A and B are shown apart, each in its own frame.
Chain A
Amino acid sequence: MEELIPKTLIVLPCYNEEGQIAALLREIREHYPNMDTLVVDNGSTDRTYHVARALSPVVRHPINLGIGGAVQTGLKYGIDQGYKFCVQVDGDGQHPPLEIQKLILSHDIHGSNLTIGSRFIKNEGFQSTNFRRMGIFWFQHLIRILTGVTITDPTSGFRMYDHNAMHIFAQHYPTDYPEPTSIVIAHKKGLSVREVPVSMRPRLLGESSIQRFKILAYMIRVTINLIFARMRE
């Protein structure tokens, strides 16, 4: 299938994923030998850079810019190198590489600018914790109010950008709470957004940047951010 797809880059934003990144890159290469990968080392303090560069090109940030900054770097690289599509796959191994083909198939059929892999359409695989699901459902309703679009998994970082989306987000990608905010921005910029059911894995190593007891504060901040994103030019 990958032979039929124009030049596609798989972007893996990573922060301290030395234990996971090598296996993930090998798994991607096994399933998609003709696709290129780019690891964006987001200021890791461990050996992520050294482990990854044996298996993939790596762009290394001297400081951590957050997930939004890392994804934006990947998109800028993709445009620089002439890629037509970018697939964002988290470096923590939660996004099974085999599911990438579902994003590609969905784009083939529907031609959407932004294709998001959702855990909550078929409710397969790892469904996240109860606390987080509460937050996700809140954002789902808020985004529907703000944009009229229903996105069941607005915090999913498993997504595919076409050339138009790459250009827009390479210039303006939100650094704060990028996943849900980028959906509002996509809507404002006239990009089509579509979801496809995927199965995800639990994080194998490391810990999330959003801890349980900070989720309420996170929800309040993201809510304000989404409203401002809708109002901004």
Chain B
Amino acid sequence: MIVENEHFLSTQTKFLLLAIVLFYFATILYKAIRARIDIYDLLLLASLGIFVMAFAIFPDAILWITKIVGIQFPFLLLFGGLIFILFIGMFRMLEKITEMESKITTLTQELALWKNREHPTDRRP
């Protein structure tokens, strides 16, 4: 990390971060257009990129927030924010898994009952 004047991000670092974030946005947008992720997940993933982009574009604002909150290093705010967003994503995935488990149970039961109706197994003499 190169500190120029009062800024904690160099110009090169800012451009690098912006380039990575733009590539990241393009990737997740492509996945969303191909219906591999849904809109809610797209917004959640995009918020990760927006958070990093805010660091690159408004480093002074981030520094100001860091001082107000009392965190020693600005990058701790970045990582803390990213982890928080990831936690939200994790909770959502757990909810989806539970919902899918319930749907799988119902589907399996309906399939078994349907197969029994179509091909009864009663072979008692």
Indicate which residue in B108, B113, B116 contacts A63 across the interface (CB closer than 8 Å): B108
In the assembled complex, 25 residue pairs joining A and B whose CB atoms fall closer than 8 Å, in A order, are A55-B124, A56-B122, A56-B124, A57-B120, A57-B121, A58-B116, A58-B121, A59-B112, A59-B115, A59-B116, A59-B121, A60-B116, A60-B121, A62-B108, A62-B112, A63-B108, A65-B105, A65-B108, A65-B109, A69-B105, A69-B108, A69-B109, A73-B109, A76-B113, A175-B102
In the bound complex, residues from chain A placing their C-beta under 8 Å from that of B112 are 40, 59-62, 73
Task: For B114, give the chain A residue with the smallest CB separation.
Answer: A59
Task: For A38, give the chain B residue with the smallest CB separation.
Answer: B116
B97 at the interface (CB under 8 A from A): no
Give chain B interface residues in 69-125, CB to chain A under 8 Å: 101-102, 104-105, 108-109, 111-113, 115-117, 120-124
Question: What string of 1s and 0s marks CB contacts (under 8 Å) between A198-219 and chain B?
Answer: 0000000000000000000000
Give chain A interface residues in 44-68, CB to chain B under 8 Å: 53-63, 65
A80 at the interface (CB under 8 A from B): yes
Classify the secondary structure of B's interface with A.
helix
Task: For A69, give the chain B residue with the smallest CB separation.
Answer: B105
In the bound complex, residues from chain B placing their C-beta under 8 Å from that of A54 are 123-124
Q: How large is the interface on A (under 10, 10 to 19, 20 to 34, 35 or more residues)?
A: 20 to 34
Question: What string of 1s and 0s marks CB contacts (under 8 Å) between B27-58 and chain A?
Answer: 00000000000000000000000000000000
Besides A40-B112, A58-B121, 10 more A-B contacts (Cβ < 8 Å) are A55-B124, A57-B121, A60-B112, A61-B112, A62-B108, A62-B112, A65-B105, A65-B108, A65-B109, A73-B112
Q: Is A62 within 8 A of B111, CB to CB? A: yes
- Given A56-B124, A57-B122, answer yes or no on A77-B108 (Cβ-Cβ < 8 Å): no
Q: Is B116 within 8 A of A77, CB to CB? A: yes
Give chain A interface residues in 104-158, CB to chain B under 8 Å: none
